Chain A
Amino acid sequence: MKRQDLRRIVADVLEIDPDLLAPEAVLGEFENYDSVTVLSLMVELDEKAGVRLAPMDIAKLQSYGDIEELARKQGVELSD
């Protein structure tokens, strides 16, 4: 899938501009990133990108780049 499509999925859940999601962007610094939006992320990433966010992965998520890394580990190719 296209890198911008993955970014759009996460941006829609966080209700932010996708351009704010640089790989180093710290998720916890977005106002809407909380225990509830994490659950929405689990659903949206699974349904729209085929990326499964397991509970143990959530604790390790620090930056947006970690989500891209997780997608790659699960065999989701990200093209520019």
Chain B
Amino acid sequence: MTNSRISAIHYCVPRLRLTNEELEERFGQRQVRSIVKMAGIKERRIAAPGQTAADLAYWATRRLVEDRKIDLAEIDLVIFASQTPDYQIPATACVLHGRLGLSDRCAAFDVNLGCTAYPYSLSIAHGLISTGVAKKALVINAETLTKVIHPEDRSLIPLHGDAAVVSLVEACPETSGFRGFLLGTDGIGYEHLIIPASGMRKPRTAESSLPVADESGIVRSQEHLYMNGPAIFHFSIHKIPEVINQALAQFNVGMEDLDLVVLHQANKTMVNQIYRTVGVPEEKQFYFMETVGNVSGPSLPLTLAEAWRQGRVRPRSKTLLVAFGVGLSWGVALHEWPEELPPAVVGPVEPEEEILP
């Protein structure tokens, strides 16, 4: 069977910035400082009204295609992984397919996953490539989570930003590429990270749109994102180290075989704690959330893209990619880079057109 590998990544973040100073004015200094201290975030990029995850994905893809001089006719698979798509029907992957002018022999579909979307979407692309269904895939992870957070929710607004990332995944010889995937779910915890009135189970009504303050004084409606912070935190710092150790055993590698361990950038305290528990040496750690925040599904590939841009991805090295969150779910992928490692895509990371509120 053919293997597959990541041959290029590029990302796009909105132009609008939301700084801690602006948040302090809105929510008060004490509240914001406490979150910022824990999360390690200084500013977030916020999609403008009318600007969607697919718009950011379009710009990231355009630039990746130009940088790598890709013949669009060769793209035979587009996976758009997002929980903030353009429409419920049709799949946003189809919209992007048309907008990018891709071939009619290209499969395009969406994957509804949040923080864990990268390992899952990579594994789907890998499965389709290694079985000969596709050869050259665009794996797109894009979210505008800030559009589903209530503007008065002082617990979530400071944490999240918007972004889109595209990874070019191609067929390759067995000498490099993916070395394994571990995917898992704990569906009992589905209510810990949820937009209650967002589908057929709880249709939107006049009542569901009303903002309500919870017992901590945090304001949101049933149509906005809710997170049970302690439950998510507990799951992340206790379950994820176990999952990483399971993955290393399954892939038959030790920490000494890895050059880089990249985690979903949920918040800095959580990432620190997972690194510490697993025993990831400092030189194998990489952080990138201070200037973008937690961007959900795109977080892991964006961090990998930055690691590559900053020279932390090296030929013949192995990178462990770890994501966890909504579902609850988790995913781990092990990727070995080729001897002839292409340079990182270094173009602009903001959209070309100016969209301001």
Contacts and interface: CB of A to CB of B under 8 A. Distances in A.
A79 B269 CA distance: 29
Interface residues of A, number: 18
Interface stretch (B162-170, B229-237, B249-257): B229-237
Given A36-B38, A52-B238, A54-B234, A43 B273 contact: yes
Interface string A23-40: 000000001101111111
B34 interface: yes
A35 B218 contact: yes
Given A31-B30, A35-B229, A40 B237 contact: no
Given A43-B237, A43-B273, A46-B237, A36 B230 contact: no
Interface in A39-71: 39-40, 42-43, 46-47, 52-55, 58
B131 interface: no
Contacts of B218: 35
Helix, strand, loop or mixed for chain B's interface?
helix
Contact of A47 (B35, B234, B270, B273): B273
A69 to B, nearest CB: 18
Nearest to A54: B234
B38 A47 contact: no
Contacts, number: 49
Contacts of B238: 52
B155 interface: yes
B38 A40 contact: yes
A35 B31 CA distance: 10
B216 interface: yes
Q: Size range of the interface on B?
A: 20 to 34
Nearest to A59: B230
B156 to A, nearest CB: 11
Contact of B269 (A35, A39, A55, A58): A39
Contacts of B231: 55
Interface in B203-224: 216, 218
A39 B31 contact: no
A39 to B, nearest CB: 5
Given A34-B216, A47-B276, A55-B231, A42 B34 contact: no
A25 B230 CA distance: 22
A37 to B, nearest CB: 6
Kindly name the residue among A32, A34, A39 whose own CB sees the greatest number of chain B CB atoms within 10 A: A39
Given A36-B34, A36-B35, A55 B228 contact: yes
Contacts of B155: 35-36
B34 A37 contact: yes
Given A43-B273, A52-B238, A38 B230 contact: yes
Contacts of B229: 35-36, 38-39
A68 B112 CA distance: 43
Contacts of B233: 39, 42-43
Nearest to A35: B216
A58 B230 contact: yes
Interface of A: 31-32, 34-40, 42-43, 46-47, 52-55, 58
9 closest cross-chain pairs (CB), A and B: A55-B230, A55-B231, A36-B34, A39-B233, A58-B230, A35-B216, A36-B35, A43-B273, A55-B234
Given A35-B230, A37-B34, A39-B269, 5 more contacts: A35-B216, A35-B229, A36-B31, A46-B237, A55-B234
